[in-house]
Structure 1
Amino acid sequence: MSASFLPVRAARLDVATAAAQAGLHPELVERFAELGLVPWTTDAAGRMWFPPAAPALLRRIVRLHADLALNYAAIALVLELLDRIEALEGRRGTLGTEGR
């Protein structure tokens, strides 16, 4: 007996949903996407789609801009550095458990 499976689409958010979950205006979300601050893709119809983690990233961008008065180029650099730190901490955690 063979099982049939329905196709599964990756979870994604449209501009309006990402904006609502982040508490932002959709035009601001589009601007952040165009600046390369948040990852996005388009479908065949040209609509923007964001990963499920986008609202948290959008809120982080707004906090960096408001609290530290960083421009968007500096925010891109800070986000890249934070990603690198997180990756290094993950590697350190893995290396620390191998020797036990």
Structure 2
Amino acid sequence: MNDPPSGAADFGRAGVGDRPVRTGADVTVSTAVRYALVPVSRLSLATVARRSGLHPDLVRRFVALGLVDAERDAAGRLSFDPTAPAVLARIQRLRSGLCLNYASIGLVLDLLDRISLLEAALRDRGTRRETPPWT
């Protein structure tokens, strides 16, 4: 009964940050929701594989490992955020540069995201540091 209008199905939640962030012993979940003002274009598996230069099976494996986020449509096909090729490139750089296995890459990605959040919080507070950020 409360179905959205015919064009509204393309407008969805974009950039939903529901990833748990560890703080000490407890886990908090960010529930901030941002709505797109324009339709969010999703990328198919073939497009992501072509843009990242990886085999589609390897991209599927990354999705199964939780290294890259994807959604399934009604037919069961994977669809990706437009930033997925950049995430896959980051995974490949970590794998080749640090010789990490894929399980440890997930941990490193989480730690890098946490560092980015902490540095952003420092910038927002206006705290000045004598040393520039390491990144």
TM-score relative to the length of structure 2: 0.64
Q: Does 1:65 align with 2:95?
A: yes
Q: Which runs of 5 or more structure 1 residues have no equivalent in the other structure? A: none
What is the Cα-based RMSD across aligned positions, in Å?
Answer: 1.9
Shift in Å, 1:74: 0.6
Structure possessing the higher relative contact order (Cα contacts under 8 Å, 6 or more residues apart)? 1
Partner in structure 2 of residue 28 of structure 1 = 58
1:29-54 alpha-carbon deviations (Å, 9 max, x no partner): 11111111001110111011111111
Partner in structure 1 of residue 107 of structure 2 = 77
Shift in Å, 1:19: 1.0
Secondary structure of 1:28 counterpart: helix
Which aligned pairs between 1:29-68 and structure 2 lie closer than 5 A? Answer: 29-68=59-98
Partner in structure 2 of residue 13 of structure 1 = 43
Q: Percentage identity across aligned positions?
A: 54
Tell me which protein shows more helix as a share of its residues. Answer: 1
Shift in Å, 1:6: 3.8
1:52-76 alpha-carbon deviations (Å, 9 max, x no partner): 1110010111111112110011100
Query: Take 2:96 and 2:45, find their aligned partners in 1: how far apart are those partners?
Result: 22
Tell me which protein shows more strand as a share of its residues. Answer: 2
Q: Does 1:89 align with 2:119?
A: yes
TM-score relative to the length of structure 1: 0.85
Query: Take 1:6 and 1:33, find their aligned partners in 2: how far apart are those partners?
Result: 29
**Matched residue type, 2:52:** A
Query: Take 2:80 and 2:122, find their aligned partners in 1: how far apart are those partners?
Result: 30
